């Protein structure tokens, strides 16, 4: 029998890494495994009742237009809501024309890559960096220029060098409760980053997925406030309402939005108008600020519990971040300890963690581990961290 002809996939898709998280989640979905590997919001805050109410009203009041094709820009009331919130929270004045509704902020990242990057173009990115962004930008086959993160933000000397020598098209960053590290840029680092990039051709792609998930409830102004014409700000409803709605946005100067609209038309014409109308109605009816306060109270308690158990039980050589928001803690393992090996050992004890390597674009990161605290209840956190402490202790003994 003749051998079938091979499939010739494009170079760009072959250059794109498969999401390691999705691969890991397949293993960790088993009910007897305690998983700190994923990045899911707590199901307790997915308001099915409120969404059901809004859905019924949309269908009754908007009728068939809720089920028709719609504009690429997205539903105006929703874009107005986003613009008003920026004005109220941060005194950031943008018009609805500077906002494009997307299928989650993941699509914003995909659009950013497609409108700005040619093959081989330099891109500045935090190390460790958000896996989904690495994946989205990889499709354009860029040259990543990593800038390592320190406890209060990026290594600004390294960023200055990258900007001067590599001249990246943009610097992709998550100044608030970064994924995966949990780090928040300090006011000083923010000022330095703004200073370094003002007057430069390098744009800022600022991912503010966790801007509302701040345990002290205080709003931290986006870098965009200081670099309005040079920043593409990415936002999402996934962490404050529900990821299943797949609703996020791009906030950028109009010229950039216009290009993104063209790119979005080519991929999906527009984001589901039905989802958008339901969310717009939901936001009108519900007290979203009270909802966000509740999320923050619960995540703060989970984070504090996880960190204090690690302080109490983990070997002293293991260090970790102390997040002030978001959903993740980042561990740094001592020299000679591999996160991949720790992942295997932890899984034997039915605990799933996320090894650090996929968060780096240069093959580093094997001493990093990401742990999620938003999706596990306090009892699960206690059991899981206690087990992980045992695994770490044994691993350190084995290699001593």
Binding site for ligand PMP (CB under 6 A): 39, 104-106, 130, 132, 174, 179, 207, 209, 236, 238, 243, 248
The sheet carrying 368-372 orders its strands as 319-320, 328-332, 368-372, 354-355
**CB of 105 vs ligand PMP, minimal distance in Å:** 4
* Region for 350 from its dihedrals, namely left if φ exceeds 0, alpha if ψ lies in -120 to 50, beta otherwise: left
CA distance to 27, 168, 194, per residue, from 198 (Å): 45, 14, 6
Start-to-end CA distance of the chain, whole Å, equals: 56
Q: Are 45 and 294 in contact (CB under 8 A)?
A: yes
CA 89 to chain centre: 20
**CB of 62 vs ligand PMP, minimal distance in Å:** 24
Q: Are 327 and 41 in contact (CB under 8 A)?
A: yes
**CB of 149 vs ligand PMP, minimal distance in Å:** 13
**CB of 382 vs ligand PMP, minimal distance in Å:** 25
Q: Are 152 and 189 in contact (CB under 8 A)?
A: yes
Q: Are 74 and 100 in contact (CB under 8 A)?
A: yes
CB-nearer residue toward ligand PMP: 179 or 357: 179
CB-nearer residue toward ligand PMP: 39 or 182: 39
CB-nearer residue toward ligand PMP: 173 or 391: 173
**CB of 134 vs ligand PMP, minimal distance in Å:** 11
CB-nearer residue toward ligand PMP: 111 or 300: 111
**CB of 102 vs ligand PMP, minimal distance in Å:** 8
Q: Are 352 and 28 in contact (CB under 8 A)?
A: yes
Which residue's Cβ lies closest to ligand PMP?
104
Collect all residues with Cβ–Cβ distance below 8 Å to 397 and sequence separation of at least 6.
none
CB-nearer residue toward ligand PMP: 264 or 345: 264
**CB of 56 vs ligand PMP, minimal distance in Å:** 25
CB-nearer residue toward ligand PMP: 125 or 256: 125
Burial code (b: 16+ CB inside 10 Å, e: under 16) for 31-51 equals eebbbbbbbebbeebebeebb
Max CA distance (Å), the chain: 70
- CA–CA distance, 393 with 184 (Å, rounded to integer): 30
Element (H, E) at 341: helix 339-348
CB-nearer residue toward ligand PMP: 36 or 395: 36
CB-nearer residue toward ligand PMP: 39 or 146: 39
**CB of 392 vs ligand PMP, minimal distance in Å:** 26
């Amino acid at each position: 029998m003749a051998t079938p002809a091979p499939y010739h996939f494009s170079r760009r898709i072959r250059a794109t890494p498969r999401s390691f998280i999705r691969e890991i989640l397949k293993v960790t979905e088993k009910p007897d495994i305690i998983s700190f590997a994923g990045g899911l919001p707590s199901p307790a805050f997915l308001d099915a009742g409120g969404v059901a109410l809004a859905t019924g009203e949309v269908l009754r009041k908007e009728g068939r237009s809720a089920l028709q094709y719609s504009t690429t820009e997205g539903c105006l009331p929703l874009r107005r809501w986003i613009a008003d919130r920026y004005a109220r929270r941060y005194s950031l004045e943008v018009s609805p024309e500077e906002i494009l509704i997307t299928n989650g902020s993941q699509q914003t990242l995909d659009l950013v890559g497609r409108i700005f990057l040619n093959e081989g173009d330099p891109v500045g990115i935090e190390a460790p960096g958000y896996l989904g962004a690495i994946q989205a930008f990889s499709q354009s086959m860029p040259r990543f220029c990593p800038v390592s993160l320190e406890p209060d933000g990026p290594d600004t000397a390294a960023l200055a060098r990258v900007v001067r020598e590599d001249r990246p098209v943009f610097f992709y960053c998550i100044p608030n409760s970064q994924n995966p590290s949990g780090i928040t840029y300090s006011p000083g680092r923010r000022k330095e980053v703004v200073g370094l990039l003002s007057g430069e051709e390098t744009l800022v792609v600022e991912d503010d997925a966790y801007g509302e998930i701040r345990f002290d409830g205080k709003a931290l102004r986006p870098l965009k406030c200081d670099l309005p014409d040079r920043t593409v700000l990415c936002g999402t409803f996934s962490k404050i309402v529900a990821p299943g709605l797949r609703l996020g946005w791009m906030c950028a100067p109009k010229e950039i939005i216009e290009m993104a609209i063209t790119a979005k038309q080519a991929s999906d014409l527009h984001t589901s108008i039905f989802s958008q109308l339901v969310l717009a109605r939901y936001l009108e009816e519900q007290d979203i600020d009270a909802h966000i306060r509740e999320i923050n109270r619960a995540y703060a308690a989970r984070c504090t519990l996880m960190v204090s158990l690690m302080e109490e039980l983990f070997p002293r050589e293991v260090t970790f971040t102390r997040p002030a928001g978001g959903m993740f803690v980042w561990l740094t393992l001592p020299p000679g300890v591999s996160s991949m090996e720790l992942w295997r050992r932890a899984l034997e004890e039915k605990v799933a963690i996320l090894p650090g390597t996929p968060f780096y674009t240069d093959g580093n990161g094997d001493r990093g581990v990401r742990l999620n605290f938003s999706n596990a209840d306090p009892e699960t956190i206690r059991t899981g961290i206690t087990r992980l402490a045992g695994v770490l202790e044994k691993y350190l003994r084995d290699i001593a």
